[in-house]
Copies of this chain bind each other. A is one copy, B any other.
Amino acid sequence: MDRIPLEKKVLSENDRIAARLRESYHEHGILCVNIISSPGSGKTSLLERTLERFPKGTRVAVLTGDIQTDNDARRLSRFGFPAKQITTGGTCHLDALRVERALADWSLDSLDLLIIENVGNLVCPSSYDLGEAAKIVMLSVAEGEDKPLKYPSIFAKSELLILNKVDLLPYVPFDIKLAREYARSIHPGMEILEVSCTTGQGLDQWIEWLEKRGKAVTSDK
């Protein structure tokens, strides 16, 4: 069973590149966030609602990961900010090397915020550091409140939980109080936002969270 040592080797190579990326974000005063969720929880919709709220000239860029298609980058490039697709061709997560390559022809001097939308997968992306300042986990209320218990790693590692699609609460059996309890049983003190990209609920708080988190990065520089 030589599998575990090899996984360790792959991960430590990833960590080396992630450390280089983290140093580079730090030098340039960039907040990098890595958004992780199941397929279809609403990551791209949240980014659409986010980018449309940013004034022209906001120094933001988006990398978006998928197994196949560049649908998401096409959806996101409509807002006039740099958006690039990373198509993994089968790999179930983004890794630091793919991020580093995607960033190679962008000037980091022109950015304050880099948002990475990971491949839709609640498991594997949690193991791959992309040099981000914060992981953010998104859970749609259509998915059931037990997910923090079933997929604890990503909830333990994420600073923020976005409970998305709260407009569907009247139609789905989702106990939001229990979801919050489960998340905080895995990660005490975890920040939690309730959001609907359909009604706009919670989007102001999300933008404020990004601003606050961005200031922490700059003041830390």
Show the binding face of A for B, using Cβ within 8 Å: 2-3, 6, 10, 38-41, 66-69, 71, 90, 92, 119-124, 139-140, 142-144, 146-147, 149-153, 165, 167-168, 171-172
Give the top 8 A-B pairs by smallest Cβ distance, nearest first.
Answer: A40-B143, A142-B142, A92-B123, A38-B38, A38-B39, A40-B144, A39-B122, A69-B149
In the complex this chain forms, how many copies of it are found? Answer: 2
A-B contact pairs, 26 of them (CB 8 A): A3-B10, A38-B38, A38-B120, A39-B143, A39-B144, A39-B151, A40-B140, A40-B143, A40-B147, A66-B150, A68-B149, A69-B146, A69-B150, A71-B146, A90-B153, A119-B123, A120-B122, A120-B150, A121-B123, A142-B143, A142-B168, A142-B172, A167-B171, A168-B171, A168-B172, A171-B171
Which single residue of chain B is at the shortest CB-CB distance from A170?
B171
B10 touches A150 (CB 8 A): no
